[in-house]
Chain A
Amino acid sequence: DAGITQSPRHKVTETGTPVTLRCHQTENHRYMYWYRQDPGHGLRLIHYSYGVKDTDKGEVSDGYSVSRSKTEDFLLTLESATSSQTSVYFCAISAGTYEQYFGPGTRLTVT
């Protein structure tokens, strides 16, 4: 199994509060990704990183920011959580033009 961990695994938060999700890898892969998974929408890319301090937006980036200060960590921040951001969030890593390996997911509920 690829060495990817996500924390927390579950979180309940209130509307308007900031939330940070963490993805940690031990594979030293260059690429890291944040997706959200919602019924009827499948997996949608939020942001991705192609190196330390190098990030780019995905198709559903509004309301989210990311940071990558170290190769092994990729943080996803919801500056002011909304109910529409209730979802399951997955982190993935890749060495490039190869398969992506996924973390176990974080279930976020915004009340």
Chain B
Amino acid sequence: SQELEQSPQSLIVQEGKNLTINCTSSKTLYGLYWYKQKYGEGLIFLMMLQKGGEEKSHEKITAKLDEKKQQSSLHITASQPSHAGIYLCGAGTNFGNEKLTFGTGTRLTIIP
């Protein structure tokens, strides 16, 4: 079965600084999803990447997919308090994206 490892597990960043979260897969990535979760709430879909080299951006968040490295990265530029939360990556299989495997998450704290 596929395993996703996220690093770091937790991150404390000063407001305004940039940061990167990584998601590494034990198997080939066929579809990679990034979600954000605020404490006590459900997951909010951020982005989906499907092709090697693909890069997507939404506001100040950019995600990239490196198929060769079986890895995706999430980069936040000029972090804000609203970026705080838990970021999770999820991956589909070569049979499709109907079932996803999730990483254990990265907890991001933004300090003023």
Contacts and interface: CB of A to CB of B under 8 A. Distances in A.
Given A43-B88, A43-B102, A104 B48 contact: no
Interface size class of B (residues with CB under 8 A): 20 to 34
Nearest to A4: B42
Given A40-B104, A41-B104, A42-B88, A48 B43 contact: no
A102 B41 CA distance: 10
Interface in A79-111: 90, 92, 94, 96-105
B42 A102 contact: yes
A45 B102 CA distance: 9
B102 A42 contact: yes
A97 B96 contact: yes
Interface in B16-73: 31, 33, 35, 40-45, 48
B49 to A, nearest CB: 11
Given A59-B1, A97-B92, A50 B98 contact: yes
A94 B33 contact: no
Nearest to A94: B98
B98 A97 contact: yes
Contacts of A103: 42
Which 6 pairs, one residue from A and one from B, show the smallest C-beta to C-beta distance?
A: A42-B104, A43-B102, A102-B42, A102-B43, A97-B97, A99-B45
